[in-house]
Amino acid sequence: MRVGLEALSFYIPRYYIDLKTIAARRNEEAGKYYIGLGQEKMAIPAPDEDVVTMAANAAAQALQGKETSSISTLLFATESGVDQSKAAGIYVHSLLGLQPNCRVVELKQACYSATAGLQLALALVAQNPKQKVLILASDIARYGLNTAGEPTQGAGAVAMLISSQPDILTFDPASGTYVEDVMDFWRPNYLEEALVDGKYSVKIYLKALAEAWNNYQANGGFSFHEFTRFCYHLPFTRMADKAHRHLGKLVHEQDLSDEQVKAHLEEGLRYGRSVGNVYSASLYLGLISLLDNASDLAGQRLGLFSYGSGCVAEFFSGVVAENYQQHLDSEGHRQLLHDREELDYEAYSRFFLFHHPVDGSESLAGHFKTGKFRFSGVNNHQRIYEKTA
């Protein structure tokens, strides 16, 4: 039985900052970000947007025109959770009006958790092909103003419907995993911004890629030349370039040419370059970018690498379906990226520093541009969500 992606979409906040603006503020050359990190724009959430509204917006887009009564499970992957107990997915379940006999849970392991969700979903659907699983990956990457990580922030969500009707992509059974207890990036409960050992995190990412690939090979995975494209977790798009060259060298014992790297990666990097790191959603935003922007990929095998600091990594693969283009809203995705408002540095820092009080008093976020759902504020320590007109 084939199991895979029946529907796939994303949502990003309606505001962004150009990294040229950040560079100017820091007296640095924009080339450091545009070329050195491969990043041009960073999505910035307004005060009335959070991981719940972004995920609900992505899901509403992915499920458009679909019958939702067979969604038996909703898995919400995030490291930007809004509550220590209640799963963010329950708010989304309610906003979307999904059927009540649905299990909902939140998953966490840095940027890796959506891939854990995917593996759970594949097993659930294989066990009962009549059920579908909705995976939501939603995150806000925050390092802090004027930190080394600041140019690699971002925000957004991806929604994936996994079923036995894989109209977009069928996943292959083999995968390779790697885990190691490292402190490359973490966020203690009492901090709102991540702590990171940036250069070390890049080294560990590359090590985890090699280890996950070796495990994938040991588990009967496909060989390098059987893939036409590769998608990597994208903390910044230059990381994929580094990763692919690293993997190429491991496999071929010589450097891949610039042309080979470009042919394997290019279309998958476009959206990430304009959005930034979306943690758990990053790999899958890259997959959407590839499917939306490459010419016909039907029947082709894609290699996928998921990495979450701390760390857990997984290499896996899938084959693109015939006529997959008909099941993607590629034009809608491009429009979403295009129709955004640019922020200057002051407006960006105001959004960044906005906080609701934590004493239980009522506080409203104010009205900004959002999608179909917004986070209107808090009262009595409870979050209030609503549909927009």
Residues whose CB falls within 8 Å of the CB of residue 345, separated by 6 or more in sequence, listed in order: 17, 21, 22, 25
Residue 4 or 310 having the CB closest to ligand HMG = 310
Residue 199 or 252 having the CB closest to ligand HMG = 199
What whole-number distance in Å separates Cα of residue 330 and Cα of residue 209? 29
Neighbouring C-beta atoms of residue 352, cutoff 10 Å: 18
Q: Is 102 a catalytic residue?
A: no
Give first-to-last CA distance, the chain, whole Å: 42
Neighbouring C-beta atoms of residue 27, cutoff 10 Å: 6
Kindly state the smallest distance separating residue 284's Cβ from ligand HMG, in Å: 13
What whole-number distance in Å separates Cα of residue 128 and Cα of residue 359? 46
One of 79, 106, 150, 314 is an active-site residue; which one?
Answer: 79
Residue 76 or 205 having the CB closest to ligand HMG = 205
Q: Is 79 a catalytic residue?
A: yes
Residue 22 or 319 having the CB closest to ligand HMG = 22
Kindly state the smallest distance separating residue 236's Cβ from ligand HMG, in Å: 6
What whole-number distance in Å separates Cα of residue 87 and Cα of residue 195? 24
**Contact by Cβ (8 Å): 151, 39:** yes
Burial code of 154-191, b = ≥16 C-beta within 10 A, e = fewer? bbbbbbbbbbbbbbbbbbbebbbbbbeebebbebeeee
Which residue number is nearest to ligand HMG in terms of Cβ?
Answer: 36
What whole-number distance in Å separates Cα of residue 324 and Cα of residue 6? 9
Neighbouring C-beta atoms of residue 244, cutoff 10 Å: 21
Kindly state the smallest distance separating residue 300's Cβ from ligand HMG, in Å: 26
Kindly state the smallest distance separating residue 347's Cβ from ligand HMG, in Å: 22
Kindly state the smallest distance separating residue 33's Cβ from ligand HMG, in Å: 8
Kindly state the smallest distance separating residue 141's Cβ from ligand HMG, in Å: 7
Residue 163 or 282 having the CB closest to ligand HMG = 282
Of 40, 10, 34, 20, nearest to 278 by C-alpha is: 10
Q: For residue 388, with 0-12 CB atoms within 10 Å meaning exposed, 13-18 middle and 19 or more buried, which class applies?
A: middle
Cα atoms in the 13 Å half-sphere on the side-chain side of 333: 28
One of 233, 244, 264, 333 is an active-site residue; which one?
Answer: 233
Q: For residue 4, with 0-12 CB atoms within 10 Å meaning exposed, 13-18 middle and 19 or more buried, which class applies?
A: buried
Kindly state the smallest distance separating residue 185's Cβ from ligand HMG, in Å: 4
Residue 72 or 201 having the CB closest to ligand HMG = 201
**Can you give the binding site for ligand HMG, defined by CB under 6 A?**
29, 31-32, 35-37, 79, 110-111, 148-149, 151-152, 184-185, 196, 198-199, 201-202, 205, 233, 235-236, 239, 277, 279, 307-309
| Length of the chain as a residue count | 389
One of 102, 111, 231, 311 is an active-site residue; which one?
Answer: 111
Residue 110 or 168 having the CB closest to ligand HMG = 110
Q: CA distances (Å), 147 to each of 26, 62, 197, 377, in order? A: 10, 35, 12, 28
Which residues are tagged catalytic? 79, 111, 233
